[in-house]
Structure 1
């Protein structure tokens, strides 16, 4: 049922006491259009949803009409509400999504504002709404002026110092990924959950699970979405799938309605607001979520059918400190073209080795944008997602780490659609890299406090992974050009500007840095047996040029359009999942 529509509710007959109980009777369908807004707004939408009641209006006989989904015969609730409002109450029984739809309609502006700004109002330092803090602006200005002065006074020495520093950062970032990935290869730290353990779970004991699916201009793949998520092995009466649609996206809404999704699929209209981003939509979904656990999927995702059950077992093993478990991502169209092959190699290395190595080393794990399973209460405690950060997933993983929560990895895979188009790839990667820059700026606002919270080792890991990744990609094209120039220009000319040791560092970076990344890409296929992709790893230096182009686009957008969500087009593949 659509979260912005209602159907005819039921009401109870008069009974004893100040509340009424008895046989449900039909109400006039016009009830939904005669809600006393002033009365409803005396409370909060979150309270109404949590406590399962909502005041509608006063009836002609002076009785207060209360909507509820499960507590319409709860005498204690009736007495409490009669005392709170100082008048008798009568209940009307409504479906859970009827009550939620009323709350979303009445409190839509408040929900939209909270979805965008609750984290910022709660702790401005943890929000990407402000791109550069005052201290960062001052520090950046001082550094820029100092660099210009040094370049004017000692141009050669300044160029040498900058090149050497950037080279060391490039090498450190690459070496960090190499050694962490080796940890992931050496130790199998992924939560191995067997089919037997899954089969032993009883449907009666399973909790309610919420699935959030934010979509925007995805009319071409919503039928696939419904089929894919319809394959989840979970009792439907304990599963709610919330398809989060922006208010103006009528085409996608119509496509979903035409596909006739099952009853446990609900269309949620995300109220208009700024910024128009995936995390803001997810925060609206979090406001409505009923599940004790929650997962995010993208529109094109095909998760393993037993993924939700495996996540529950992993949460039980991990204890209360485990706030999230991440399933691996991979691609069903891996062999479509050269780009999809490189994409698949990268993701295989990242999810099968890099995340496992971070987990083994107890280092902060930046989440992927999909297949993140959360304890809902812990997610609310963290403040939900930052709608101003365009890699809200990575930011949330770092925030969880700073307060001692753990992120785990499970042996389940969600198949996605790899980018088949270079322009689409650049759009997607520029957003990801811009988001890493945002996350670095946010958590670097208070470096001393962050070191106290997570320790120096985890702080350095954060700096090398989240800050080092954009820095590495920004350095790729300049290093490639400098290496090419050093080979083409006579050595006597080059050595007159740069000393030999600097040129050796650049050459070392080019050969060893690229060699490391080629090796890591080659590791990717081994766990999944996709050995036909191994030789494609040799194209990694070319693949990194695309990343570098995306990094410069991301940097430009960070300065000019920091909160703009660069949309990735889906449904371009010629292959099917």
Structure 2
């Protein structure tokens, strides 16, 4: 006797939805109390969400129980796809988006007909299925998590290939997959050859000209940041969204919001993150949170399972592949995003509760070509030691002064690694992040501009854990500076296109904000060493290279430029209300030494290991134990 004859056929045609509402069916099944149902119905009306999304977001029952009852509402049998696995022969890679967005998957063939497993049964889903698979298609019910797991299981190779190759396949000139192109090599070879020839023929004029060029680059970087601080200090570009704007938002009009949380070997900070996301002032039925975890990181995966997280949390397991980078993991998870807007938070992030609403309000007040809005970043352990104090002052200067001014001046904004909020349709259109760039968000901010979009900044802050360890800080900063080098090389492959797409201010702002950031960090130690040697020994050997005008320019850089940076670091502390950190602004030159060490390490890695993602260890602050316990107790 055949297996088909022995096994009861489960596929059915859906019936009209039961006369009894699903909420009443759940109460009758003993899965929900009358009080819980009344609360859920009130939230459903207030949030304009489906009742199931409200119920599952509150952990009032298991997903298995809810989806079983939901299937029964349409007369469908319920199937656990983890036990009754789909037939891989029916899986169509061309319909990956349909599977992940509609929560539907071909399951089996029964009696010569295709049976689809659906987690979101509705007339729209049934009509789509009949249009694709024919009028005789049958259905079984299953859970959302079974669909997500099954799609990952069947499509790991395709999803991984897309995560790695969509950008480089469609727009290779915009990908850092190739560190330096042949034309760039030829230009570099030509410049070095010309310099060597000039040194051989006109040694002193060549050294003077090179020295003048370096001094000009320092002054240009200084002048740009002076302008950014000047504009960034203005109140009218500092406040974008008011309390009244947030209060005017209606929960029923808010869009579904996807939150990606890429993590790797960080089980201890997971409760802190989950607690921070629960505190968001946003309808939880409209949150779509993806914990993006490496498949081999069993410790963090098991920690996530043990927390018994609400149904708006999903675990996305990223299969192993190289390079193992955050942007590759985010690209992989992007396929499962179901929101209209999307943001990224790091594992230790604590966004202000109204941040998502502020971003929604900011998008509504913005022009149609604004595709990304960056929130500010700062640190909740700023007072822990000297390094955290300097890190907090630097971030205050960066996010409270520089970025608002860059937006105002229409200069490309290098996004931060977290709390950047995207229109999901645009993000997919430009093929998302570059998995080969280790500061993927800085690159993405520039790429958005080159594609005709704008990046804005919103007055909301996400608080992170500042690095408390200098070796850990250098690992993180060397990766950032290596990524800035990658970003500069990528976007200077077509300098004319960059100029046309960003304009005069945008082009030169890119040169001296992105390029100047790593250039000054690399050159500064050489100038410091030369200055120290001259002062210590009284030698006049460098005098011919420093004619009077150039000497004055160099002294200006040394005294006025450095003094200015100390001053604006001090002002940044006052603006953020960090008065206790202000005296530490005087020690910022020592912080620059660390920056230069990181720059040379990043340059070495760019040459020898360009795609290596040097992991920053989180959860090492002395505050983390108390934060974790508070999260678990809450």
1:37 aligns with 2:88: yes
Q: What's 1:279 paired with? A: 327
Q: What's 2:115 paired with? A: 65
What does 1:73-472 align with in structure 2 at a 5 Å threshold? Answer: 73-74=123-124, 75-83=126-134, 88-472=136-520
Give 3-state SS (helix, strand or coil) of 1:220's partner: helix
Give 3-state SS (helix, strand or coil) of 2:94's partner: coil
Q: Given the superposition, is the C-alpha separation of residues 270 and 152 from structure 1 closer, same or farther in structure 2, using an over 3 Å criterion? A: same
What does 1:501-512 align with in structure 2 at a 5 Å threshold? Answer: 501-512=549-560
Give the deviation of 1:368 after TM superposition.
0.6
Give 3-state SS (helix, strand or coil) of 1:266's partner: strand
- Per-residue CA deviation, residues 195-226 of structure 1 (Å, 9 max, x unaligned), is 34323322222211111000011122112121
1:553 aligns with 2:601: yes
Give the deviation of 1:11 after TM superposition.
5.9
Give the deviation of 1:187 after TM superposition.
4.3
Q: Distance in 1 between matches of 2:343 and 2:520?
A: 31
TM-score normalised over the length of structure 2? 0.84
Give the deviation of 1:289 after TM superposition.
0.3
Q: Given the superposition, is the C-alpha separation of residues 42 and 438 from structure 1 closer, same or farther in structure 2, using an over 3 Å criterion? A: closer
Tell me if structure 2 keeps the 8 A contact 1:181–1:356.
no
Give the deviation of 1:42 after TM superposition.
5.8
Q: Distance in 2 between matches of 1:497 and 1:196?
A: 60
Give the deviation of 1:13 after TM superposition.
5.0
Q: Distance in 1 between matches of 2:500 and 2:587?
A: 41
Give the deviation of 1:312 after TM superposition.
0.5
Q: Given the superposition, is the C-alpha separation of residues 28 and 440 from structure 1 closer, same or farther in structure 2, using an over 3 Å criterion? A: closer
Q: What's 2:55 paired with? A: none
Q: Distance in 2 between matches of 1:250 and 1:334?
A: 32
Q: Given the superposition, is the C-alpha separation of residues 25 and 197 from structure 1 closer, same or farther in structure 2, using an over 3 Å criterion? A: same
Q: Distance in 1 between matches of 2:79 and 2:429?
A: 41
From 84, 93, 104, the counterpart of 1:53: 104
Give 3-state SS (helix, strand or coil) of 1:329's partner: strand
Tell me if structure 2 keeps the 8 A contact 1:323–1:375.
yes
Tell me if structure 1 keeps the 8 A contact 2:204–2:544.
no
Give 3-state SS (helix, strand or coil) of 2:268's partner: coil
Q: Given the superposition, is the C-alpha separation of residues 78 and 370 from structure 1 closer, same or farther in structure 2, using an over 3 Å criterion? A: closer
Give the deviation of 1:328 after TM superposition.
0.7
Q: What's 2:534 paired with? A: 486
Q: Distance in 1 between matches of 2:15 and 2:566?
A: 76
Give the deviation of 1:406 after TM superposition.
1.7
Q: What's 1:4 paired with? A: none
- Per-residue CA deviation, residues 148-173 of structure 1 (Å, 9 max, x unaligned), is 33334444433333222112112211
Give the deviation of 1:247 after TM superposition.
1.4
Give 3-state SS (helix, strand or coil) of 2:462's partner: strand
Q: Given the superposition, is the C-alpha separation of residues 327 and 14 from structure 1 closer, same or farther in structure 2, using an over 3 Å criterion? A: closer
Give the deviation of 1:401 after TM superposition.
1.1
Give the deviation of 1:329 after TM superposition.
0.6
Tell me if structure 1 keeps the 8 A contact 2:77–2:141.
no
Q: Given the superposition, is the C-alpha separation of residues 149 and 242 from structure 1 closer, same or farther in structure 2, using an over 3 Å criterion? A: same
Give the deviation of 1:27 after TM superposition.
4.2
Tell me if structure 2 keeps the 8 A contact 1:208–1:290.
yes
Q: Unaligned regions of 5+ residues in structure 1, if any?
A: 1-9
Q: Given the superposition, is the C-alpha separation of residues 323 and 26 from structure 1 closer, same or farther in structure 2, using an over 3 Å criterion? A: same
Q: What's 1:6 paired with? A: none
The Cα RMSD (Å) is 2.2
Q: Distance in 2 between matches of 1:121 and 1:144?
A: 32
Give 3-state SS (helix, strand or coil) of 2:260's partner: strand
Give the deviation of 1:22 after TM superposition.
7.3
- Per-residue CA deviation, residues 289-325 of structure 1 (Å, 9 max, x unaligned), is 0011111000000000111111101111113211111
How many residues are paired up?
561
Q: Given the superposition, is the C-alpha separation of residues 13 and 187 from structure 1 closer, same or farther in structure 2, using an over 3 Å criterion? A: same
Larger mean CA deviation between 124-133 and 21-30 belongs to: 21-30
Give the deviation of 1:71 after TM superposition.
4.0
Tell me if structure 1 keeps the 8 A contact 2:118–2:140.
yes
Tell me if structure 2 keeps the 8 A contact 1:184–1:356.
yes
Tell me if structure 2 keeps the 8 A contact 1:433–1:551.
yes
Give the deviation of 1:423 after TM superposition.
0.7
1:535 aligns with 2:586: no
Q: Unaligned regions of 5+ residues in structure 2, if any?
A: 1-9, 17-70, 628-634
Q: Distance in 2 between matches of 1:185 and 1:15?
A: 63
Give the deviation of 1:33 after TM superposition.
4.4
Q: Given the superposition, is the C-alpha separation of residues 451 and 201 from structure 1 closer, same or farther in structure 2, using an over 3 Å criterion? A: same
Give 3-state SS (helix, strand or coil) of 1:54's partner: strand
TM-score normalised over the length of structure 1? 0.92
Tell me if structure 1 keeps the 8 A contact 2:409–2:505.
no
- Per-residue CA deviation, residues 345-399 of structure 1 (Å, 9 max, x unaligned), is 1111111111111111122111111000111111111210111111111111111
Larger mean CA deviation between 411-420 and 399-408 belongs to: 399-408
Give 3-state SS (helix, strand or coil) of 1:409's partner: strand
Give the deviation of 1:472 after TM superposition.
1.0
Tell me if structure 2 keeps the 8 A contact 1:190–1:408.
no
Give 3-state SS (helix, strand or coil) of 2:576's partner: coil
What does 1:12-23 align with in structure 2 at a 5 Å threshold? Answer: 12=12, 23=74
Q: Given the superposition, is the C-alpha separation of residues 187 and 402 from structure 1 closer, same or farther in structure 2, using an over 3 Å criterion? A: farther
Q: Given the superposition, is the C-alpha separation of residues 545 and 481 from structure 1 closer, same or farther in structure 2, using an over 3 Å criterion? A: same
